Structure 1
Amino acid sequence: MSSETPDYKDTLNLPKTDFPMRAGLPKREPDWLARWEKLGVYDRLRDGAGDRKPFILHDGPPYANGHLHIGHALNKVLKDMVVRSQQMMGRDARYVPGWDCHGLPIEWKIEEQYRAKGKDKDEVSVLDFRQECRKFAEGWIDIQRDEFKRLGVTGKWDNPYLTMDYHAEAVIADEFMKFVMNGSLYLGSKPVMWSPVEKTALAEAEVEYKDHTSHTIWVKFPVASGDPALDGAKVVIWTTTPWTIPSNRGVAFSSRISYGLFRVTEAREDNWLKVGETVVLADPLAEDVMKVARVEAYERVADAPDFTGAILKHPLAGADGYWGYDVPMLEGDFVTDDAGTGFVHTAPSHGADDYDLFVKNGLVDRMTHNVLEDSSFAEHVPFFAGLKVFDHKGKEGKANKAIIEKLVEAGALAARGKTTHSYPHSWRSKAPVIYRNTPQWFAAIDKPLDDGMDDYGATIRERALTSIDQLVKWTPQTGRNRLYSMIEARPDWVLSRQRAWGVPLTCFVKRLGEGRVEILRDDKVNARIRDAFEAEGADAWFRDDAAARFLGSDYDASDWEKVTDILDVWFDSGSTHAFVLRDREDGSADGIADLYLEGTDQHRGWFHSSLLQASATKGRAPYRGVLTHGFTLDEKGMKMSKSLGNTVAPEQVIKQYGADILRLWVAQSDYTADLRIGPEILKGVADSYRRLRNTLRFMLGSLGDFSEELRVPHAEMPELERAILHKLAELDRLVRKHYDEYDFQAVFQAVFHFATIDLSSYYFDIRKDALYCDGDDSLRRRSALTVLDTLFHSLATWLAPVLVFTMEEVWLERFPGEESSVHLQDMPVLPESWIDHDLWTRTEARRAVRRVVTGALEIERRSKTIGASLEAAPVVHVPAETAALIDADSFADLCITSQITLTTDVAPKGAFTLDEVPGVAVVFARAQGEKCDRCWKILPDVGTHSHAGVCGRCDEVLNEEGL
Structure 2
Amino acid sequence: MTTAEKLDYSRTLYLPQTEFPMRAGLPEKEPLLVKRWQEMKLYNRLRESAAGRPLYVLHDGPPYANGNIHIGHALNKILKDVITRSFQMRGYNSNYVPGWDCHGLPIEWKIEEKYRAAGRNKDEVPVNEFRRECRDFAQHWIDVQTEEFKRLGVEGDFDNPYTTMNYHAEARIAGELLKFAMSGQLYRGSKPVMWSVVERTALAEAEVEYHDYESDTIWVKFPVGAAGGIGGEKGEADIRELLDAHVVIWTTTPWTIPGNRAVAYSPRISYSLYEVTAAENDFGPQPGDKLIFADALADESFAKAKLESKRLRKVTAEQLEDITLAHPLKGLGGGYDFAVPMLPGDHVTDDAGTGFVHTAPGHGREDFDAWMDAAKDLAARGIETRIPFTVDDAGFFTKDAPGFGPDREGGAARVIDDNGKKGDANKAVIEALIAANMLFARGRLKHSYPHSWRSKKPVIFRNTPQWFVYMDKDLGDTTTLRSRALAAIDATRFVPAAGQTRLRAMIEDRPDWVLSRQRAWGVPICIFANEDGEVLKDTEVNARILEAFEAEGADAWFAEGARERFLGSRANEPWAMVTDILDVWFDSGSTHTFTLEDRPDMKWPADVYLEGSDQHRGWFHSSLLESCGTRGRAPYDAVITHGFTMDEDGRKMSKSLGNTVVPQDVMKQSGADILRLWVMTTDYWEDQRLGKNVLQTNIDAYRKLRNTIRWMLGTLAHDEGEQVALSDMPELERLMLHRIAELDELVRKGYDAFDFKRITRSLIDFMVVELSAFYFDVRKDALYCDAPSSVKRKSAIVVVRHLFDHLVTWLAPMLPFTMEEAWMERHPDAVSVHLEQFRDVPAEWRDDALAAKWRKVRQVRRVVTGALEIERREKRIGSSLEAAPIVHVADAELRAAIADVDMAEICITSGISILAEAAPEISFTLDDVKGVGVVPALAGGTKCARSWRYTDDVGSDAEFPDVSARDAAALHELRALGRL
The reply to whether TM is greater than 0.5 is: yes
Distance (whole Å) between structure 2 residues aligned to residue 175 and residue 234 of structure 1: 53
The answer to whether the 8 Å contact 1:594/1:624 transfers is: yes
Pairing partner for 1:234 from 246, 249, 259: 246
1:580 aligns with 2:595: yes
Distance (whole Å) between structure 2 residues aligned to residue 391 and residue 915 of structure 1: 72
Q: CA deviation at 1:43?
A: 1.2
The answer to whether the 8 Å contact 2:528/2:578 transfers is: yes
Give the match's secondary structure for 2:897: coil
1:847 aligns with 2:858: yes
Q: Deviations over 1:266-291 (max 9, x none)?
A: 11263412111100000000001000
Aligned match of 1:563: 578
Aligned residue-pair number: 947
Equivalent residue letter for 1:560: W
The answer to whether the 8 Å contact 1:6/1:948 transfers is: no
Aligned match of 1:54: 55
- Cα–Cα, structure 1 residues 782 and 901, in superposed 2: closer, same or farther, change >3 Å? same
The answer to whether the 8 Å contact 2:624/2:633 transfers is: yes
Distance (whole Å) between structure 1 residues aligned to residue 815 and residue 5 of structure 2: 50
1:739 aligns with 2:751: yes
Aligned match of 1:500: 520
Equivalent residue letter for 1:118: G
Map 1:599-748 onto structure 2 (within 5 A): 599-708=612-721, 710-748=722-760
Indicate the percent of aligned positions where both proteins have the same amino acid. 57
Q: CA deviation at 1:875?
A: 1.1
The answer to whether the 8 Å contact 2:585/2:619 transfers is: yes
Aligned match of 1:28: 29
Distance (whole Å) between structure 2 residues aligned to residue 223 and residue 624 of structure 1: 57
1:413 aligns with 2:450: no
- Cα–Cα, structure 1 residues 730 and 223, in superposed 2: closer, same or farther, change >3 Å? same
Distance (whole Å) between structure 2 residues aligned to residue 576 and residue 269 of structure 1: 61
Equivalent residue letter for 2:589: G
Pairing partner for 2:295 from 268, 283, 308: 283
Aligned match of 1:293: 305
Equivalent residue letter for 1:574: G
Q: CA deviation at 1:5?
A: 7.0
1:509 aligns with 2:523: no
* Deviates most, 5-14 or 337-346: 5-14
Pairing partner for 1:828 from 835, 839, 861: 839
Aligned match of 1:596: 609
Map 1:356-505 onto structure 2 (within 5 A): 356-362=369-375, 365-379=385-399, 381-385=401-405, 386-450=412-476, 458-470=479-491, 472-505=492-525
Aligned match of 1:519: 535
Distance (whole Å) between structure 2 residues aligned to residue 727 and residue 292 of structure 1: 72
Q: Deviations over 1:606-649 (max 9, x none)?
A: 00000000001111000000000000100000001111111111
Aligned match of 1:77: 78
Distance (whole Å) between structure 2 residues aligned to residue 370 and residue 735 of structure 1: 62
Alignment TM-score, normalising by the size of structure 1: 0.97
The answer to whether the 8 Å contact 2:247/2:291 transfers is: yes
The answer to whether the 8 Å contact 1:335/1:342 transfers is: yes
* Deviates most, 222-231 or 348-357: 222-231
Q: CA deviation at 1:47?
A: 1.4
Q: CA deviation at 1:4?
A: 4.1
The answer to whether the 8 Å contact 1:114/1:120 transfers is: yes
Distance (whole Å) between structure 1 residues aligned to residue 260 and residue 877 of structure 2: 91
Q: CA deviation at 1:230?
A: 1.0
Distance (whole Å) between structure 1 residues aligned to residue 182 and residue 725 of structure 2: 68
The answer to whether the 8 Å contact 1:127/1:542 transfers is: yes
Aligned match of 2:867: 856
Distance (whole Å) between structure 2 residues aligned to residue 279 and residue 647 of structure 1: 54
Equivalent residue letter for 2:517: R
Q: CA deviation at 1:522?
A: 1.3
Q: CA deviation at 1:382?
A: 3.0
Alignment TM-score, normalising by the size of structure 2: 0.95
Distance (whole Å) between structure 2 residues aligned to residue 380 and residue 190 of structure 1: 16
Distance (whole Å) between structure 1 residues aligned to residue 525 and residue 7 of structure 2: 89
* Deviates most, 944-953 or 174-183: 944-953
Distance (whole Å) between structure 1 residues aligned to residue 797 and residue 345 of structure 2: 78
The answer to whether the 8 Å contact 2:281/2:306 transfers is: no
Pairing partner for 2:768 from 749, 756, 773: 756
* Deviates most, 795-804 or 49-58: 49-58
Aligned match of 1:123: 124
Aligned match of 1:181: 182
Distance (whole Å) between structure 1 residues aligned to residue 782 and residue 40 of structure 2: 39
Distance (whole Å) between structure 1 residues aligned to residue 253 and residue 901 of structure 2: 86
Q: Deviations over 1:640-679 (max 9, x none)?
A: 1111111111011111110000000000000011010000
Give the match's secondary structure for 1:365: coil
Q: CA deviation at 1:90?
A: 1.2
Aligned match of 1:923: 935
Pairing partner for 2:330 from 317, 322, 340: 317
Give the match's secondary structure for 2:925: coil
Pairing partner for 1:249 from 261, 276, 296: 261
The answer to whether the 8 Å contact 2:334/2:402 transfers is: no
Aligned match of 2:109: 108
Give the match's secondary structure for 1:89: coil
- Cα–Cα, structure 1 residues 793 and 750, in superposed 2: closer, same or farther, change >3 Å? same
* Deviates most, 434-443 or 3-12: 3-12
1:548 aligns with 2:567: no
Q: Deviations over 1:238-290 (max 9, x none)?
A: 00000000111111111111000000101126341211110000000000100
The answer to whether the 8 Å contact 1:874/1:922 transfers is: yes
Aligned match of 2:793: 781
Q: CA deviation at 1:883?
A: 2.2
The answer to whether the 8 Å contact 1:377/1:387 transfers is: yes
Q: Deviations over 1:666-719 (max 9, x none)?
A: 0000001101000011000100000101100110000012132x1212221100
- Cα–Cα, structure 1 residues 94 and 269, in superposed 2: closer, same or farther, change >3 Å? closer
Q: Deviations over 1:516-545 (max 9, x none)?
A: 222111111111111111111001111121
* Deviates most, 885-894 or 620-629: 885-894
* Deviates most, 659-668 or 823-832: 823-832
Distance (whole Å) between structure 2 residues aligned to residue 518 and residue 349 of structure 1: 22
1:533 aligns with 2:549: yes
- Cα–Cα, structure 1 residues 292 and 889, in superposed 2: closer, same or farther, change >3 Å? closer
Q: CA deviation at 1:885?
A: 1.8
Q: CA deviation at 1:888?
A: 5.0
Distance (whole Å) between structure 2 residues aligned to residue 812 and residue 410 of structure 1: 85
Distance (whole Å) between structure 2 residues aligned to residue 210 and residue 57 of structure 1: 34
Distance (whole Å) between structure 2 residues aligned to residue 701 and residue 48 of structure 1: 30
Name the Cα RMSD after superposition.
Answer: 1.4
The answer to whether the 8 Å contact 1:5/1:948 transfers is: no
Q: Deviations over 1:577-620 (max 9, x none)?
A: 100000011110xx200000000000000000000000011110
Q: CA deviation at 1:884?
A: 2.1
Unaligned runs of 5+ in 2: 231-238, 379-383, 406-411
* Deviates most, 493-502 or 374-383: 374-383
1:159 aligns with 2:160: yes
Equivalent residue letter for 1:798: W
Equivalent residue letter for 1:465: L
The answer to whether the 8 Å contact 1:349/1:368 transfers is: yes
Map 1:867-906 onto structure 2 (within 5 A): 867-878=878-889, 879-887=891-899, 890-906=902-918
The answer to whether the 8 Å contact 1:271/1:293 transfers is: no
Equivalent residue letter for 2:161: P
The answer to whether the 8 Å contact 2:563/2:571 transfers is: no
The answer to whether the 8 Å contact 2:246/2:291 transfers is: yes
Distance (whole Å) between structure 1 residues aligned to residue 446 and residue 918 of structure 2: 75
The answer to whether the 8 Å contact 1:464/1:620 transfers is: yes
